[in-house]
Amino acid sequence: MYFLTGWPRRLLCPLRSEEEPFHIQPNSHRFYFAVLSETQLSIWFSRPSVLIVSYIESATAAAQFGSYQKAEWKPDDSKIAVATAKGYVLLFDVLGGRDDRYLYEPVYPRGSTRVKVTQGYKEEQCAPALSLVMNRPVDLEAPITSLQSLQENLLVCTTDGYLHVLHWDGLGSNGRQAISLTAIPFSLDLQSSRGGPSLDLGGVFIHCMEYCVTLDGFAVVLSDGRLGFITPLSNTITADQLQGVWAADVNDGTCVAVNNKYRLMAFGCASGSVLVYVIDTATGSMQLSHKLELTPKHYPDIYNKTGPVKLIRWSPDYSVVMVTWECGGLSLWSVFGAHLICTLGEDFAYRSDGTRKDPIKISSMSWGAEGYHLWVISKKQERRRQEEELQQQEDDTIPPAHSSLQPGILQFHFIKSALTVNPCMSNQEQVLLHGEDRLFLTCGDPTQVSSSSEAHPRAHLHLRDGSPLHRPPNPDSSLSQGLSTLLGHKHWHVVQIHSTYLESNWPIRFAAIDTAGQCMAVAGRRGFAHYSLLTRKWKLFGNISQEQNMTVTGGLAWWNDFVVVACYNFIDQQEQLRLYQRSTNLDNAFASVTKLHSHTLLLNVFRDMVILFRADCSICLYSLEKKKDVQNPTASVELLQEVSMSRYIPHPALVVSVTLTSVRTETGITLKAPQQACMAESIMLNLAGQLIMLQRDRSGPQVREKETPVNTKKLLPFCPPVVLAQCVENVWTTCRSNRKKRHLLEALWLSCGEAGMKVWLPLFPRDHRKPHSFLSRRIMLPFHINIYPLAVLFEDALVLGATNETVLYDGLQGSSEPLEALIPYCTVERTSQIYLHHILRQLLVRNLGEQALMLAQSCASLPYFPHVMELMVHVVLEEEATSREPIPDPLLPTVAKFITEFPLFLQTIVHCARKTEYALWNYLFAAVGNPKDLFEECLIAQDLDTAASYLIILQNMEVPAVSRQHATLLFNTALEQGKWDLCRHMIRFLKAIGSGEIETPPPTPTTHEPSTTGGFEFFRNRSISLSQSADSITTGKFNLQKTFSMPSGPSVKGRDAECAENMYIDMMLWRHARHLLEQVRLRDLGCFSAQLGFELIGWLCRERNRVARVDDFVSALKRLHKDFLWPFPVIPAGSLSSPLKNGRCRTVLSTQLLKSQSADNLLNNGMDTAPPQAAPTNHNWLDRIRQGPKDLDTASSTHSNQHSPQTHDAFLSLLTNKVEEYSVGSATDLTETSSMVDGDWTMVDENASTLSLSQAELEHISMELANKGPHKSQVQLRYLLHVFMEAGCLEWCVVIGLILRDANVIKQVIGFLDSPEVPRETLQSVKSGLLAVDAWASTDCLGYKPFLSIIQQQLQQLMDAAAGEQVPPESFQPSGQSSKLGGSEGLGGAAMSRAEDSRGAAAPLGLALPTLEPTAGFTRPPSEDCPPDKTEEQGEEEGSYDCTLS
């Protein structure tokens, strides 16, 4: 509504004077201000804010009359009356200078287009020179308490109980009369005035009085604190024609101010409250409308310490009221009590260090023109005290007259909503605010908004403060991430009003914006101008005389591309309705002009109709039609209907707004006829806060639309008016229609001050009912919101508003606090609020659940709909669960039942519970259901995240056993669905339960958890030991020690519980791994291991002869092809006769080309060659496996590094410095690069260049390359090959070797099968599996035949081995090893301590190791089984072995 902006400006009086101003009084237009000091009367001009003239009383006259006290202007500004302390009224004539005499006038550069072309033009933009001449004074012989101008009379109240009526032009004896207050009968209402109870007014006088035009009476505060209203019963004010009513039970009144537009009387009280009264039209009694007071909720430390109300001032448009108290401070309320601003709290009252400031005490204040400024004079004692402090601190170096606290006037700056003066803006969905020289819009691209959106340019410090001009940081600069995606951003789009238009037409009186939010129009004293956001340009009248010959009277509105203006033409002396096209030049030649018969007060547009409200209390409806056949498009205006309202409207100034709408009450717009919603059905009239509706009268014979020609259609008359609501400030309605959201679009939205908002909602039948069997009715629903509403987004269920924010500048304080440090810098921010939950709740309270459901379903697609549901549950829960008295009919069960209609029910309840304190949970779940049941519903619905939230609830409400049971259920489900983040949280949760941390929520992990991006990136934070022999691997109670660091209790009991809990978790992990392996889901197994840090190699070692067997090689191969998206190999028809089929070159191509493409790119993270480490003590066939794969798995890794940079970011390097974790096998596997790759690849290149390959051979090579799967799958398969090889699961190694078609893998595995430690079952299984694959390939997949022929020799070796021939295993073993397989089987290893517990989890093969020292003597600390010298010897052996290979 009204918002404070910037810093106040200080106006310093240029005349040296010991006296200080204490009273300010504006003239009727608020262009001139009379300022009083003890013996001085000054007149200030508003723009520029300068002193024009000052009259200083002589010492003799001052001694005779006493000091000046109050002033009052004559309505035509020709005279000023001043009351003095000794009972005199001094009358001053205000004389204007000659035509060419100005105090200040603008100076234009040569050639400027702005020249004087119309008479009176220069006066509009100059400060005139005035003079004051005093007439003969009038002595009223008693101190004067109040002055009030009334047409040609001046009313003066004195302390002797008299009301003096003086004539402005003849203040002699014949021009005055005195009425004694005791002669006026007072009663509680006018009906009982004759003979009813009356006030005893002996010794009582009128302390304060103000005249109300629309009530035709005087609001008075008597000297004993009672409040009254005096009405003249006839046109003349005489003693026998006055009648008074008084307000019961009030006796502490201090001051009064009247609101002419809303017929309100605001009385200040000694208690600090402001009582706002209305006159009951039926009885004439004074009735309390509402109170304006600070609440203990928002102002707990000051609300009862403000002291008596000092002053009350209504704004010029009567939409807000400013109040100040004896203790100081300013507070702003809307007309019906919505609190907007108060300077007694927050940054206004406290410094940044928390100390309290002294509020500015105000002796007088007045609103400036159009309410853009508040002129304030602070109290004398306040200034003198600060002045003395300043002089003492500065040692009199600055003269008093030049100090920053020199007597002066403060000007507070305001911006206001366009609704205050142009209520036709209420059918737009934009917020438009206007200051005195700029507009603030809520639309526009945030990137195009200027970086600084401070609310006012005049935010500088006074030059004498000694501080530079500061621009405050803009608090709006960061974009708001609000609930609604429709709001976009919080920036204001600031548009500077054209200075050429402003300088001659200030102040801006009206502003309007079009529906799209792209065009604006403003109107000042004369003419108007409009602006387009598309072109970023203003359009002004090219002919200044046309601009100066019209003034906008009834407001502005946009209709399509036309500006609709109700104006007065000074040349023709006539009211007109004009339409100007936006795209043409702003000129009367392009305007459509319609003559009007009466003065227009209000204007509004509905679809293609204009509604006007005129000064004769009549309403006119016009139709608008665009003419398209003309070159310059114009509009034709046709009068449709006139409606006289003089019977219902006592005074035309009381009508706040007039609106056409499609809203109606009787037999509603049925579902079959929604097109009727487009018709203008009713007129809404805001009459002094009463909302009145006039509907079409359909009681007569109805003519069908089909039978009526469009041109001759006669509009129906209107019924008598009906009052819909009281205390209405603004009304919003829309002319759009949306069949899906009819509730919201066909509703009427009202803003009602402190009562919040109301919506007049239509009630519709359900679709399955017959429309004619249901009468559509409406219901008025009130609800409170936390912001002041400025616009309603109908479909989006949002209210838009604005709020004041402050920025402190305490750093400016020096020897004394300047004004800018006392008062914070003010900005205006955009706000918004959801209201849907309020309406749904109100409907449920009234047992209209069906309507609530229809409304909610129509809004279910809104992005913040889940939040709406949470808010509804939360508000009802807080109210009912914290109520001290039992609630007979609780609403929470109804709300819970209502929310079950929506799929987000489970989510809503748990989110609401977790945002509510624990004490209210029992009440909540008593209404919505047992949390265990809700948890199970989440599992059934596969909504695991919500189920996890319910687990927190269960943990607090149930015993640990129940939490563990449900957590186990959720953990298993999450494992199955691959929700790894949730799995990690569940592990942490289960450990917390086991550690006895039931009271507190599970702690968060202390280390960074692995990311869940694609590939096997997630190995970055883990290290899996690839070198532990089987007997050194313990059962995995250590699995998650590093990723989830759990606090361990110091007590033995706590450690035991933790061990048990870890075992419990491990059992579940093992079970899941077994399940995956049984189902041949190797890809899922790899993800599971990587994401949860599962010790896959150790587990596989234990399961090597159990679940880690392959029962069906063919089905396993098929499953791998499917899971890894690996194509089955195919061969071209001519390949059987290829010359490369059996030669060495063929072998090279078939093996090396494959390997070069599938090289293990896990090595490509800048890894250097690391020296080998000492071999572990226990050596067996498994160790040979771990040493072996380096030949094949690292083959061509260098080539991959050089030629596959595009895959670099898909893999991870290891982040650790502990090289002890890696053994010879793992380190050399990862780091050694074989020169065979380059050699063979070179040989192939040479062959290719010298042998001139035939077409068939090239086709064969391309076919081999095409038989590869995705690169990511290659990496994953290679990794799994490493894992299975380390774990000794030879059958799986064969399967993976087959799918990779890597002959070296098959060769090495078959070589290891000769070891005596390998069970015979494994040998037989591999043999039968390969035979099965061969048989399958022969029939179903011939593409495998070439590869099987390559490994024919190994297959034959396998057959021989299976028949009984065995290769001596010693030939594969380094010397000094004992071949003994330690106790790695079974659970016996569970109690063994894990060497890596303190070193972090192990890293898989295929990860880049850290760069190690390039020396070969890096050894592992000697173990118990191996003496130091032997370890050293082995280290040397391994080093030389490494060098030989390299």
Distances (CA, A) of 877 to 845, 916, 1398: 14, 9, 49
Confidence of residue 194 (pLDDT cuts 50, 70, 90): low
Tokens of 690: 């009463």
Most confident segment among 83-92, 185-194, 668-677: 83-92
Q: How large is the average pLDDT for residues 49-61?
A: 92
Read off the DSSP letter of residue 1150: I
Tell me the three state secondary structure of residue 51. strand
Structure-model confidence comparison of residues 1422 and 937, the more confident one: 937
Structure-model confidence comparison of residues 1210 and 696, the more confident one: 696
* Angle, CA 827 vertex, CA 824 and CA 832 arms, to 5°: 135
pLDDT at residue 600, rounded to an integer = 94
Query: Is the four-CA dihedral 825, 828, 832, 833 of positive or negative sign?
Result: positive
- DSSP H or E run through 71: strand 68-73
**Separation between Cα atoms, residue 345 and residue 822, nearest integer Å:** 13
What order do you get walking across the sheet with 309-314 strand by strand?
Answer: 309-314, 320-325, 330-334, 339-342
DSSP secondary structure, 1112-1124, as one string? -HHHHHHHHHHHT
**Separation between Cα atoms, residue 480 and residue 813, nearest integer Å:** 32
**Separation between Cα atoms, residue 1002 and residue 992, nearest integer Å:** 6
Closest CA to 657 of 280, 279, 291, 317: 317
pLDDT at residue 1359, rounded to an integer = 83
**Separation between Cα atoms, residue 1264 and residue 185, nearest integer Å:** 115
Query: Crossing angle for the helix pair 1052-1078 and 980-994, nearest 10 degrees?
Result: 150
**Separation between Cα atoms, residue 1430 and residue 1023, nearest integer Å:** 28
pLDDT at residue 770, rounded to an integer = 54
Query: Is the four-CA dihedral 1149, 1150, 1151, 1152 of positive or negative sign?
Result: positive
Tell me the three state secondary structure of residue 137. coil
Q: How large is the average pLDDT for residues 1177-1182?
A: 47
Residue 1143 pLDDT greater than 70, yes or no: no
Distances (CA, A) of 1426 to 889, 1338, 1421: 82, 52, 10
- Annotate 302-352 with three-state secondary structure: CCCCCCCEEEEEECCCCCEEEEEECCCCEEEEECCCCEEEECCCHHHHECC
Q: Using one digit for the tens of pLDDT, what is the confidence trace for 802-811?
A: 999 999 887 6
Closest CA to 1439 of 1173, 1186, 1232, 1189: 1173
pLDDT at residue 674, rounded to an integer = 46
What is the percentage of the chain residues whose pLDDT exceeds 90? 45
Q: Choose the weakest-confidence range: 196-200, 394-398, 549-553.
A: 394-398
Residue 380 pLDDT greater than 80, yes or no: no
**Separation between Cα atoms, residue 50 and residue 1168, nearest integer Å:** 81
Question: Whole-model pTM?
Answer: 0.76
Structure-model confidence comparison of residues 1389 and 38, the more confident one: 38
Confidence of residue 631 (pLDDT cuts 50, 70, 90): confident
For residues 769 and 760, the answer to whether their CB atoms sit within 8 Å is no
Distance from the first to the final alpha carbon of the chain = 83
Distances (CA, A) of 1236 to 12, 1148, 1191, 1230, 1246: 94, 11, 9, 16, 15
Query: Crossing angle for the helix pair 1352-1363 and 1320-1339, nearest 10 degrees?
Result: 140
Contacts with 1012 (C-beta within 8 Å, 6 or more apart), sequence order: 980, 981, 1018, 1091
How many Cβ atoms from other residues are within 10 Å of residue 44's Cβ?
24
Distances (CA, A) of 723 to 626, 745, 1199: 36, 21, 87
* Angle, CA 651 vertex, CA 646 and CA 656 arms, to 5°: 100
**Separation between Cα atoms, residue 201 and residue 612, nearest integer Å:** 48
**Separation between Cα atoms, residue 7 and residue 807, nearest integer Å:** 10
Residue 278 pLDDT greater than 60, yes or no: yes
Q: How large is the average pLDDT for residues 264-277?
A: 96
Residue 635 pLDDT greater than 70, yes or no: yes
Q: How large is the average pLDDT for residues 126-153?
A: 90
Confidence of residue 1168 (pLDDT cuts 50, 70, 90): very low
Residue 403 pLDDT greater than 60, yes or no: no
Q: How large is the average pLDDT for residues 1370-1382?
A: 36
Confidence of residue 227 (pLDDT cuts 50, 70, 90): very high
Residue 1008 pLDDT greater than 90, yes or no: no
Q: How large is the average pLDDT for residues 353-370?
A: 91
Round the average pLDDT of the chain to a whole number and report it.
76
Report the length, in residues, of the chain.
Answer: 1446
Rg (CA), the chain: 45
Residue 66 pLDDT greater than 50, yes or no: yes
Q: Using one digit for the tens of pLDDT, what is the confidence trace for 849-886?
A: 999 999 999 999 999 999 999 999 999 999 999 988 98
Q: How large is the average pLDDT for residues 17-36?
A: 92
For residues 965 and 929, the answer to whether their CB atoms sit within 8 Å is no
For residues 1317 and 1381, the answer to whether their CB atoms sit within 8 Å is yes
Q: How large is the average pLDDT for residues 505-530?
A: 94
- How far, in whole angstroms, is CA 967 from its chain's centroid? 35
Residue 29 pLDDT greater than 70, yes or no: yes
What order do you get walking across the sheet with 682-687 strand by strand?
Answer: 655-661, 682-687, 690-695, 722-725
Residue 1144 pLDDT greater than 60, yes or no: no
Please provide residue 579's backbone torsions phi and psi, each rounded to the nearest 5 degrees: -125, 125
Q: Choose the weakest-confidence range: 148-152, 195-199, 832-836.
A: 195-199
Burial of 521 (0-12, 13-18, 19+ CB in 10 A): buried
For residues 1166 and 1408, the answer to whether their CB atoms sit within 8 Å is yes
pLDDT at residue 692, rounded to an integer = 94
Q: How large is the average pLDDT for residues 1113-1123?
A: 92
**Separation between Cα atoms, residue 1088 and residue 829, nearest integer Å:** 50
Q: Choose the weakest-confidence range: 375-389, 713-727, 1414-1428.
A: 1414-1428
Read off the DSSP letter of residue 141: S
Please provide residue 1136's backbone torsions phi and psi, each rounded to the nearest 5 degrees: -65, -25
Closest CA to 418 of 433, 439, 405, 407: 433
For residues 1 and 318, the answer to whether their CB atoms sit within 8 Å is no
pLDDT at residue 239, rounded to an integer = 73
Structure-model confidence comparison of residues 48 and 320, the more confident one: 320
pLDDT at residue 100, rounded to an integer = 61
**Separation between Cα atoms, residue 820 and residue 388, nearest integer Å:** 19
Q: How large is the average pLDDT for residues 1218-1239?
A: 33
- DSSP H or E run through 641: strand 634-644
Q: Using one digit for the tens of pLDDT, what is the confidence trace for 146-189?
A: 999 988 889 999 999 999 999 888 655 556 788 998 888 888 88
Q: Using one digit for the tens of pLDDT, what is the confidence trace for 470-508?
A: 333 333 333 333 334 345 567 789 999 999 899 889 899
Q: Which residues pair with 800 in a beta bridge?
A: 791, 832
Read off the DSSP letter of residue 203: T
pLDDT at residue 1202, rounded to an integer = 40
Structure-model confidence comparison of residues 1377 and 294, the more confident one: 294
Q: How large is the average pLDDT for residues 410-435?
A: 90
Q: Using one digit for the tens of pLDDT, what is the confidence trace for 442-452?
A: 864 433 333 33
Q: Using one digit for the tens of pLDDT, what is the confidence trace for 953-974?
A: 999 998 988 989 999 999 999 9
Residue 1257 pLDDT greater than 90, yes or no: no
Q: How large is the average pLDDT for residues 526-551?
A: 94
* Angle, CA 1251 vertex, CA 1250 and CA 1252 arms, to 5°: 95
Confidence of residue 581 (pLDDT cuts 50, 70, 90): very high
pLDDT at residue 812, rounded to an integer = 58
Closest CA to 1111 of 906, 1324, 1254, 919: 1324
